Structure 1
Amino acid sequence: MDEFMQTESIVLAPFETRHLDDAVALSRAAGWAHRREDWEMIWSLSQGRVALAGDRVVGTALMTPFGDTCSSINMIIVDESQRGRGLGRKLTTAVLELAENRECRLTATNDGLPLYEKLGFVATDQIVRHQGIVNRVNAPENAEWVEPDALPAIKALDRAAFGASRDALIDVLAKQGRFAAIRNDDRIVAFASTRLFGKGEVVGPVVAENVEQARDLLAFILSGKEGHFVRTDIPEQTGLSSQLEDWGMPQEGEVVAMVRGAVGRSQTPAVQTFCLASQAIG
């Protein structure tokens, strides 16, 4: 694909640092919670395209690669004044080309679902957003905060659960927030991350062997967040919704996880993702 693509009066161009402020404004107009710092985090790991009407950003899309085998298609926004003209499809197609032969994952609203189905994506899960002001939560005794020397074990667990390497993401999360873990003897068997996001904090990813470990990690992190606004995004089938509601984080929306060009796994992983890092990057 050419670096610049002309479509009527709209030009698609590489997403650069100078476009971040306009991207934040677009996402706020769409009702998203993302701060500039949240955009910067995802953009720092990604390649992308913007749609320009003159010097004004009227659309965005990012492709976040995870090694050579997998990617996330995310941050797809079209200015309200430009909707209904096929611009969302053009932006999505442009970043799919950036993904080359990688498996592509994304989350879709009901409005976006028909477009992504036409582009070859298949629904896999419902992703549920839970958020709110956290109640008093008792901390379990089997979880602890961990230091940077735990990152190799955390990366290995995340790779097993996600099915691709997200080492660069884990490094960024370690700089922006904290990791908690559960050990079996000296071996880390489950972990969770927390960081600032939007109008409060977010917990995720949470990777564990079972739902009990995932619940204990969430309880450990939330025990220090009483009175604070916290969000987490979970696959619906994890069964954590009722517990999160009890902790003051009701369900407030859902999206559909989708995949294109899925690469099958040779065996069932010993751990799974109970909470996403974010809807954008899984």
Structure 2
Amino acid sequence: MSSSPPPDVAQDRLSLRAMTAADIEQAHALSAELRWPHRPTDWEQVFAHAEGTVVEQDGQILGTGLRWRWGTQHASVGLIIVSPAYQGRGIGRQLMHALLDGLEDHSVLLQATEAGRPLYEKLGFDVVGGVRQHQGVVTPTPLIAQPPGWRMRPAGLNELAALQSLDAAARGMPRSALIEDLLASAEACVVLDHEQTPRGFAMLRRFGRGHVIGPVVAPDVEGAKALIAHLAGQNTGHFTRIDVDAAAVLGDWLAAIGLVEVDSPTTMVRGKPLVYPEGAPTLFAITTQAIG
């Protein structure tokens, strides 16, 4: 029995254009084709801060890509999707060229899949690290006691500026509007204080199949564990995801509380390396793989 011929892609009928909110339904359908867990509301939240590009043919969206400008020198790109039936036709390359147009003087961050990495390397991206995606149903998680002078407490909306500053130092780029949005929509946000000064924070948010813990910013691994344990304990018995820095060596501990590793994208940057202030906290868990 012969297989079906591949779908026709006529280059003269392909068009690139700016993505609009009206495209989210088709964009969500594309991510569902790849079994990515994003809900329409997840798309809406990240698109609110993004500039998007779609490739379409005869009104059908075949591919998407989003970019986020953070300040005047930084950006990230993500949700670069090509319908499986149309992959291998150069659509991904067209999307990337459109997304990178105008970002020549920016440091551009992305999380690369194994399939996408060769293209990104050809476009000038360098490997700077990796992410480990962990997920599962959280088991009861003991709280981690704090040393003298340290304490864990809920974040207040009046602490937005402090959280924005911590995130900018840990991510190496300013993302004030994003952190404001996440703080307003998070189901829980906890702060790690040292002598009444915020030194780290973590958020628990609805995302995909359940909840996600991220971002997680902390001064050290033990602080990160304390923040994660606090939020994981609140979400015991529920599906939870966290995307952690591969260098953090948290894998065995996360697996012990029910969050097993399922994927390992590569962190890549094009342009100037990201700069972190002296004494900056560490970004132990990213917001999402799309945004970083």
Counterpart code for 2:221: V
- Aligned counterpart in structure 2 of residue 188 of structure 1, from 198, 206, 226: 198
- 1:66 and 2:63 aligned: no
Partner of 2:27: 23
Structure 2: how far apart are the matches of 1:171 and 1:203? 16
Query: Is contact 2:190–2:203 with CA below 8 Å preserved after alignment?
Result: yes
Deviations 1:170-208 (A, max 9, x none): 011012103211111211011111100001000011111
Counterpart code for 2:270: R
Partner of 1:3: none
Please report how far the alpha carbon of residue 101 of structure 1 lies from its aligned counterpart in structure 2 after TM superposition: 2.0
- 1:159 and 2:159 aligned: no
Counterpart code for 1:115: L
Q: How does 1:147-226 map to 2 (within 5 A)?
A: 147-177=156-186, 178-226=188-236
Aligned residues: 277
**Compared CA separation, residues 241 and 127, structure 1 to 2 (3 A):** same
Q: Secondary structure at the match of 1:8?
A: helix
Structure 1: how far apart are the matches of 2:241 and 2:218? 19
- Aligned counterpart in structure 1 of residue 87 of structure 2, from 70, 83, 90: 83
Q: Secondary structure at the match of 1:99?
A: coil
Q: Secondary structure at the match of 1:190?
A: strand
Structure 2: how far apart are the matches of 1:43 and 1:260? 22
Partner of 2:138: 134
Counterpart code for 1:99: L
Q: How does 1:228-267 map to 2 (within 5 A)?
A: 228-263=238-273, 265=275, 267=277
Counterpart code for 1:47: E
Deviations 1:73-116 (A, max 9, x none): 11100112221111100001101114342111101111111100
Extract unaligned runs of 5+ from structure 1: 1-5
Please report how far the alpha carbon of residue 59 of structure 1 lies from its aligned counterpart in structure 2 after TM superposition: 0.4
- 1:120 and 2:124 aligned: yes
Query: Is contact 1:38–1:198 with CA below 8 Å preserved after alignment?
Result: yes
Q: Secondary structure at the match of 1:223?
A: helix
Query: Is contact 2:157–2:184 with CA below 8 Å preserved after alignment?
Result: no
Query: Is contact 2:217–2:224 with CA below 8 Å preserved after alignment?
Result: yes
Extract unaligned runs of 5+ from structure 2: 1-9, 146-150
Q: Show structure 1 runs of 4+ deviating over 4 A.
A: none
Q: Secondary structure at the match of 2:46?
A: helix
Query: Is contact 1:130–1:252 with CA below 8 Å preserved after alignment?
Result: yes
Deviations 1:144-174 (A, max 9, x none): 2111011111111111111111101101101
Q: Secondary structure at the match of 1:40?
A: helix
Q: Which structure has the greater CA radius of gyration?
A: 2
Please report how far the alpha carbon of residue 264 of structure 1 lies from its aligned counterpart in structure 2 after TM superposition: 5.2
Q: Secondary structure at the match of 1:33?
A: coil
Please report how far the alpha carbon of residue 267 of structure 1 lies from its aligned counterpart in structure 2 after TM superposition: 4.7
Structure 2: how far apart are the matches of 1:266 and 1:167? 16
Counterpart code for 1:210: D
Identity within the alignment, %: 34
Structure 2: how far apart are the matches of 1:155 and 1:244? 26
Structure 2: how far apart are the matches of 1:251 and 1:206? 17
Partner of 2:55: 51
**Compared CA separation, residues 267 and 139, structure 1 to 2 (3 A):** closer
Query: Is contact 2:169–2:276 with CA below 8 Å preserved after alignment?
Result: no
TM-score, length basis structure 2: 0.92
TM-score, length basis structure 1: 0.95
